[in-house]
Chain A
């Protein structure tokens, strides 16, 4: 895994680090954006709200 990913990253080391951090930040941003609606769905049962 390490070799494949690392060799695929372009440019110097600092750029690779920046790309890696940017990727993980974007991924976690998407995860949180997905989690909030999911949490909203879990919050409302059929007695306290409608579902969908």
Chain B
């Protein structure tokens, strides 16, 4: 009773304390939304959008495009923010898939409800000779690449386009400063070297929930098969279950 009486006598302090508590709760709720709930919502949305795009391309696949398993067709880059591929990485989850859009703009691609992965403009397209470079957040906005650090040598990275399935194999990691853009070169980290191999480079922030450096995952092209041949065996069941 004494405490209650004291509280009634110190109204300005009570309101000040209440304002502090309210401000603190608002900040906590905001951070909870940004780092947790928002990612759950975007993860579901990005996955569903990728699945829809993948199935649309499969349903429209009529004839096999020109090209061979070792010399695949290469599409022209689409306009900014347009979808160009769907990426499947079984190591990131048996049903993990995302749409890849042109540009790595944060608001319209990486943070979007229906993409999550962006393609660095000017780098190679899927299957092309050179460096097919893509980016996604590690944490927040769908936690798209949060498990990239778990890749193991030889893990498959499947890229689906309207033409078919491009299979890359993970090769190695590199940790660099954010401004080290030569990881996007045709020959990563080598300036001026002519493109000679078909590579994939995935960039994301590191460590999770921080952005002081970048984690770079490199892979190399293995094979191509047209959509009409069906999905690669490792993800065939996953793709079929979405149809």
List residues of A whose CB falls within 8 A of some B CB. 1-2, 5-6, 9, 11-13, 16-17, 20-21, 23-24, 26-28, 30-31, 34, 36-38, 40-42, 44, 46-52
Contact = CB atoms under 8 A, between A and B. Distances in A.
Contacts of B138: 52
B181 interface: yes
B17 A17 contact: yes
A30 to B, nearest CB: 6
Contact of A41 (B10, B15, B27, B205): B205
Contacts of B184: 50
A16 B17 CA distance: 8
30 contacts: A5-B25, A6-B17, A9-B17, A9-B21, A13-B14, A17-B16, A17-B17, A20-B17, A20-B21, A21-B20, A24-B21, A24-B23, A24-B27, A27-B27, A27-B28, A31-B31, A34-B35, A34-B209, A37-B209, A40-B205, A41-B137, A46-B104, A49-B179, A49-B181, A50-B183, A50-B184, A50-B216, A51-B135, A52-B145, A52-B206
A16 B178 CA distance: 44
A40 to B, nearest CB: 4
Interface of B: 3, 6-7, 10, 13-18, 20-25, 27-28, 30-31, 34-35, 103-106, 110, 118, 120-121, 135-138, 145, 176, 178-181, 183-184, 203-206, 209-212, 214-216
Contacts of A40: 178, 205, 211-212
